Amino acid sequence: MPTIDFWYEFASTYSYPTAMRIENMAADGGIDVRWRPFLLGPIFKAFGWNDSPFNIFAAKGRYMWRDLERLCEADGLPLKLPPVRFPQNGLKAARLALVGEAEGWIQAFTRAVFTANYAEQKDISEDPVLRAILVEIGLDADRAMETAGRPAVKEALRAQTDEAAVRGIFGAPSFTVEGELFWGNDRLEAALAWAKTG
């Protein structure tokens, strides 16, 4: 079965519409999706950025929020702006997602975190918010939180972020199909087509 790697960061705005649509679109094309959370912070630091480029470059930021509104409206996705903070700290959520990858609940968890951030104005760095999401998707929150705090999970997230950088990833969402890189929610269709025929 053809496979696509979906690289996302929980703070990333454009990763939200992708997370909400990729699974159905991939299934329609008979394509398997590997969900790969990573951190943009270290990659942006290498560019000399200590904040989101949407904050550093105001005109880009203003445009992005409006563009996101239009995209979510077109996709029928709820959106409630502004988020409690931008960018949010997605570190704990990303570690939890890696636990979810091993245990088969990464998709539901990821979608719920993006929804909490962009449709419900919740702070996804806070333990009670993450715990409520875990419970909502039917998990033992204590156990998941404990597992996510283990050194092996922290190391796995670092390794995933390193791999993203090595693959030339510089933003989110990104998609890789073997060595081929696609960047942006608006390249999802092209990436899926590449996976299918490439």
Q: Which residues bind a second copy (CB under 8 A)?
A: 43, 47, 57, 59-60, 62-63, 66-67, 70, 168-171, 181-184, 186-187, 190
Tokens of 126: 């806070």
156 versus 190: smaller Cβ distance to a second copy: 190
The enclosing H or E element of 1 equals none
Min CB(111)–a second copy separation in Å: 24
Min CB(171)–a second copy separation in Å: 8
Q: 19 near 174, Cβ under 8 Å? A: no
How far is the C-alpha of 134 from the C-alpha of 17, rounded, in Å?
Answer: 21
47 versus 142: smaller Cβ distance to a second copy: 47
65 versus 111: smaller Cβ distance to a second copy: 65
Q: 116 near 122, Cβ under 8 Å? A: yes
Min CB(143)–a second copy separation in Å: 38
Min CB(168)–a second copy separation in Å: 5
Q: 176 near 4, Cβ under 8 Å? A: yes
60 versus 80: smaller Cβ distance to a second copy: 60
Q: 175 near 182, Cβ under 8 Å? A: yes
Q: 52 near 86, Cβ under 8 Å? A: yes
